[in-house]
Amino acid sequence: MSARRPLIGIPADRRMLGPQPYHLAGEKYVTAALDAAGVIPVIVPALGRELGDESLFASLHGLLFMGSPSNVEPHHYRGEPSDTGTLHDPHRDETTLPLIPRAVAAGMPVLGICRGFQEMNVAFGGTLWQKLQEVPGLLDHRENKDQPLEQQYAAAHDVSLVPGGVLQRLAGGAGSISVNSLHSQGVRELGPGLTVEARAPDGVIEAFRVTAARNFALAVQWHPEWRVLDNTFSTALFAEFGAACRGQMKDRR
């Protein structure tokens, strides 16, 4: 690996801490990017459309769209109004939803995780279920928040990997892998131009890639960043993203 590492942006959540707003990123995403992808993570503030894409693209070699307790506001995908008390982050929506397709079109490597997976689907015109557990025939994909984190992030179910897909290659040709499950929202209609990479036992889409992307552009519903170096597949996924970012850096020299 070159002594110089690529820079990847992680768009932040905007949260109120007391009376003031802060721009935050989860440490597990930051450390997974550093340790498993071999890149330098940079937190991108949720400044919406005031954030110039051109400057970002000139400075960064990849983007990681992380998970979050907040949900994408349903008006972005023609969804029903959320229940009272649902946590939203309109500043993040205004930042990520326009940024995702532009980054992919520019050939920038992109990885989406959990909320980032849902953002990528919405950004490409897809829709979401807000409560999978209330949809007949679908499983309850939520974690038990009363359990310790180690149990919340433990493997919850298998996902079947699409034959010939990117994820099956990273899994060494295996037909399925075990993943954790900590979400209530999920893909309802897959956005145009996206290709399924994995499904849960109930048929819910758990991973997809951008079909015509010129570079790595993939999203997963589960949390591979959790103790990434303890999971062979998660390490391989982040390493693939990191390799794409290094390729992007090399191409700009």
Q: Which of 91, 114, 141, 183 is catalytic?
A: 114
Q: Which of 91, 141, 183, 223 is catalytic?
A: 223
Active site residue 114: yes
Total Cβ atoms within 10 A of residue 127? 16
d(CA 186, CA 126): 11
Active site residue 54: no
Q: Is 48 exposed, middle or buried (0-12, 13-18, 19+ CB in 10 A)?
A: middle
Nearest to 93 by CA among 110, 116, 113, 109: 116
Q: Please answer whether residues 205 and 165 qualify as being in contact, where contact means their C-beta atoms are separated by less than 8 angstroms.
A: no
Amino acid 7: pLDDT: 97
Tens digits of pLDDT across the chain (253 residues):
447 999 999 999 999 999 999 999 999 999 999 999 999 999 999 998 777 778 888 999 999 999 999 999 999 999 999 999 999 999 999 999 999 999 999 999 999 999 999 999 999 999 999 999 999 999 999 999 999 999 999 999 999 999 999 999 999 999 999 999 999 999 999 999 999 999 999 999 999 999 999 999 999 999 999 999 999 999 999 999 999 999 999 988 7
Q: Which residues contact 253 (CB under 8 A, 6 or more apart)?
A: none
Percent composition of the chain: helix, strand, coil (DSSP 3-state, to 5): 35, 25, 45
Please report, in angstroms and rounded to a whole number, the separation of the first and last CA atoms in the chain. Answer: 16
CA distances from 228 to 36, 82, 117, 225, 235 (A): 7, 32, 18, 5, 6
φ, ψ for residue 200, nearest 5 deg? -75, 170
Amino acid 2: pLDDT: 47
Instruction: Give the predicted TM-score (pTM) of the model.
Output: 0.96
Amino acid 50: pLDDT: 75
Amino acid 1: pLDDT: 43
| Alpha helices by DSSP H, the chain | 27-35, 53-59, 90-105, 115-123, 149-152, 166-170, 232-251
Amino acid 45: pLDDT: 96
φ, ψ for residue 204, nearest 5 deg? -65, 135
Q: Which of 73, 94, 143, 225 is catalytic?
A: 225
Active site residue 245: no
